[in-house]
Structure 1
Amino acid sequence: MQTKSEFSHWEKEILIYPCDLADVTQIREVSEKIKNEVGNVDILINNAGVVTGKYFHEHTHENIEQSMLINSCAPMHLTLEFLPEMMVRNHGAVCTVASSAGLISNPKMSVYAASKWAAVGWSDSVRLEMKQLGKNISFTTIMPFFINTGMFDGVKSKILPMLDPEKTSERIIRAIEKERKMLAMPLPYWFIRFSQGILPLSVFDWVMRDVLGIYDTMKEFKGRG
């Protein structure tokens, strides 16, 4: 597999466990296999995602279901498989790579945004639960702008550049190491929330649409095909 070949230079063995993350039965079976063959999981990174870049009325029911299952439900199911053991050992880290679409609404991303808003709310809620329960388990929620991996081919950004995959990965790793609660990039989380809180919605829309060009980013979206 491509992923395994990319890490072929590593001295340690890389294990690959294919899984359809839209299928909770497969998630449970593969997770059990990992626990039996590898053992305890110290760091879980929920990173898989899909996007359907079109207006909501153009979606099919299948589009909606796939987006919600993979972007929202899969991180919950996966975490539920590994979190209890982390809690017993009182050690672990869970990182969920959501999206800046989990903070800002955007045309032609309605279902994607809904799935990412759900992921952000869930991840940060469990972070608070772990703190309330006195567990030494960090939850980090990542909310990046478009990352240049091919998933968002065709996206046009007026001011904000697409993020470099390598540099973004490094920032995510550092965020996990430092037990950051939230990391949004390139616009910081606090700036987005602060702007939403103090600006009238019409003014916020104007900034997103006419100043930053966010609302037009998906007009020529193609994706990976």
Structure 2
Amino acid sequence: MTKFKDKTILITGGASGIGLLMAKLSIQNGAASLIILDIDRTALLKAETQLKSSGCEIIIFPVDLTNEEQLTTTIHEINRRKLMVDILINNAGVVTGKDFKDHSEVEIDRTMKVNSIAPMKLSLSLLPQMIKKGSGHIVNISSAAGMLANPGMSVYCASKWALSGWSDSLRIEMERERTGVKVLTVTPYYIDTGMFKGVSSPLIPILKPEKVAKRIIKAIEKDKIILRTPEIIYLLPFVKGILPKRMLDLVIGKLFGIYSSMNTFKGRTNDQN
């Protein structure tokens, strides 16, 4: 069992959405220090004010995860302050809701860097201290889109497939080497935040962020290796495995309406949460 009490937690994209909700829950569960990385400086300062607690130190870093220099500087500053992170939650994410042919190279780079590369680099920088002390927890917020192709979010799907594959591979390596470092991969369906504003889902309910945040914290405490939500997402790998591709397109695309879910997507700009 993993405890939050007296631990140092680092959350990317922690100034709003489920990141901020998980920050609040971490404090409620007794975290000693909370480090938040976010691109939105205004939201960061607001979150810092909201989260100030006599029992928890709040440390904020305005950082654009696509900027190599900013990310490196932030990692260096964390190490310089000798902040020993016990639980890393790679939560920041971005999505561009359009067909692949309409993407720019900048949008492709940004999506892959925020959703896939930044979590790997941040984890790589913190792993040595976790392995040295024989404990630690890395939590990667991937997506159900990391298991299923979907028109209108091809690059997002690619980034989350990469994140999920890396995350579970890391888990196996940490277990094989008996490092004491635990890895959790989270694959939620659409969450009702600004990031996916406007998506439609006729059969599967869009998730409430409060419920998702609570489930993630519980999964960390119980040392789970995978969390899929809602429960029906646990059936997805099985359904993909038994149905021919054209039949899968019919069931997922037509029956569940997933392939048209991004048709009404609006989202929000400059969103890393």
Counterpart check, 1:168 vs 2:220: no
- 1:86 corresponds in structure 2 to 130
Q: Structure 1 residues 38, 164: closer, same or farther in 2, change over 3 A? A: farther
Q: 1:220 aligns with which of 239, 248, 264?
A: 264
Asked whether the 8 Å contact 2:143–2:188 carries over to 1, the reply is yes
Residues 16-165 of structure 1: matches in 2 within 5 Å? 16-37=60-81, 39-165=83-209
Preserved CA contact (<8 Å) 1:24 1:77 = no
TM-score, normalising length: structure 1: 0.96
State the match for 1:7 in structure 2.
Answer: 51
Deviations along 1:118-153, one digit per CA (max 9) or x if unpaired, are 000000000000011111111000011111111111
* Structure-2-length-normalised TM-score: 0.79
1:28–1:81: 8 Å Cα contact kept in structure 2?
Answer: no
The 1:11–1:134 alpha-carbon spacing in structure 2 relative to 1, beyond 3 Å, is: closer
Query: Partner residue of 2:240?
Result: 196
Residue 57 of structure 2: SS of its match in structure 1? coil
Distance across 2 between alignment mates of 1:134 and 1:188: 32
Match for 2:216: what amino acid? I
Contact 1:145-1:185 within 8 A present in 2 as well:
yes
Q: Distance in 1 between matches of 2:158 and 2:182?
A: 24
Deviation at 1:180, TM superposition (A): 1.0
Aligned to 2:32: none
Unpaired runs of at least 5, structure 2: 1-44
Give the drift of 1:38: 5.0
Q: CA deviation at 1:173?
A: 0.6
Provide the secondary structure at the position in 1 that maps to 2:59: coil
Give aligned-pair identity as a percent: 44
Q: Distance in 2 between matches of 1:217 and 1:73?
A: 27
Q: Matched residue of 2:88: which SS?
A: strand
For residues 188-215 of structure 1, give each alpha carbon's deviation from its aligned partner in whole angstroms, at most 9, with x where no partner exists. 5541111111111111111111221111
Write the distance in 2 (CA, Å) between the matches of 1:49 and 1:194: 27
Instruction: Name the CA distance, whole Å, in 2 between partners of 1:90 and 1:43.
Output: 13
Q: Quote the Cα distance in structure 2 between the aligned partners of 1:210 and 1:26.
A: 44
Conservation of the 8 A alpha-carbon contact between 1:159 and 1:212: yes
Deviation readout 1:53-93 (Å, 9 max, x if unpaired) = 00000000111010001111000010011011101111000
Runs of 5+ consecutive residues of structure 1 not aligned to the other structure: none
Distance 1:157 1:8 in 2: 37
**Cα displacement (A) at 1:26:** 1.8
What displacement does 1:28 show? 2.0
- More displaced stretch, 100-109 vs 24-33: 24-33
